[in-house]
Structure 1
């Protein structure tokens, strides 16, 4: 259906939009050929497309693009709705960045979503430093207005290898004494979960994520919800939270492992973004046998590897 060869001469064109189920399935199959499936670069791509193909979560709109149109190297995902400003995630070429292509696809995508960005006055871009910087520069060019970065968020990407996904299925997930781990009761718990989520945008969107995407919660002996984890639209484990008075007893670990097992049983990749500033969770994930930190070779020393950082850059019109 389309070629993935890197062109010798850069020919800028239009974005290619993947709209039909057949196109999305063909994109998924092509990107996961051979050993590509287990590349951490494709964690989000696989889960996002699997969720889209399942067709259960339709509260927000997901649009998928490739650039260049004839030879897609950059794969772009956009989540949007009239209730939420656009969220953009960019999967860079597996062979590495081509800055000319990156700048052009950022320009084209921002042009397409210009009216929505203006309407909401905000934008979220998720990707590495080069991706976020390209979009920051093009924002000013396309909209002619100044956008400032809100709450810059630097994260490490933790994921489970095929062996870890297999192993997690046999891990004990018994809750600490006095607690139970159960499915989320959206009607009963949705308001509380949304209220305590610092990145929650709209309560109805939060409730539908809990209802249609993998989620889990923990309850005390009174049946009150005291901790939870849910899924983001792009398919990662997100919003793992335990009320402060119930922390440091293993409850958070039990919640996370329970949700990870659900992912693995569904055939999804298991991954999460952990803020570097959240040192206790970051260090705990490093020590855990269940998680692998996505690393890259140091450009100055091939014998040294460093974390492959991803950024959540929220832009707000100044």
Structure 2
């Protein structure tokens, strides 16, 4: 059949052009078909990865969440975790109330500045009573007379850092010596609080002082210890003893005035006869003994840092 007579023109089939050999290819030629199969009639790893990514998420992951047994196991595990959390919180509250502990850290910058000035210059302060609102003491940020644990905690950490610096200046620093200094300061606080609690118990003094209150009042000595060590490092032994005398007198005055209303105003319910007239004197002795014990501890914990 003559194709030219019907308007057709025979064309010669074109061969596929081979890629130029002058430079590297920008893209691989994938128009020739799927990648070759290996000896086990599987495609290569590149093709499998592409197919898996194009198909979306692995169906095994969806089956894990759709499985009722897996869902039940996850719910059971979460319930066990919640029960364990409740048990831990209950055991902690048996020995230490978290809400009560938060009260002693409810401070702000204004309170901290006023409290530090009160600890160093307590002689001009007039009102020492802790204020209450509906039988609940005001938080430290609203009452400068309320005890707190923020200043004792920060002062304790600062004292340890200052002790390390003093030991380093004197070429006597070592981790063992610094650890001994920190543990000694902590043990003295524990002994002081335990002795105070035992004295109040033996004398049957009913007061609203809690263990946290005693820790706070005992921990205020670290502020005076910091001042004493700093003056000793800057001005030598004369500055050390001058700062020791000032901080000791200020701390004793602060403790006596702060604990006076809390201890002396409380009367034992079962005190009768001769014991009634004697116990106020015992309460006074406890207050003065606690105040007089502070300079001894300050000197004991700071004298070896200034030489």
TM range (shorter): under 0.3
Q: TM-score, normalised by structure 2?
A: 0.24
**Max Rg structure:** 2
Between structures 1 and 2, the one with greater helix share = 2
* Greater strand content: 1
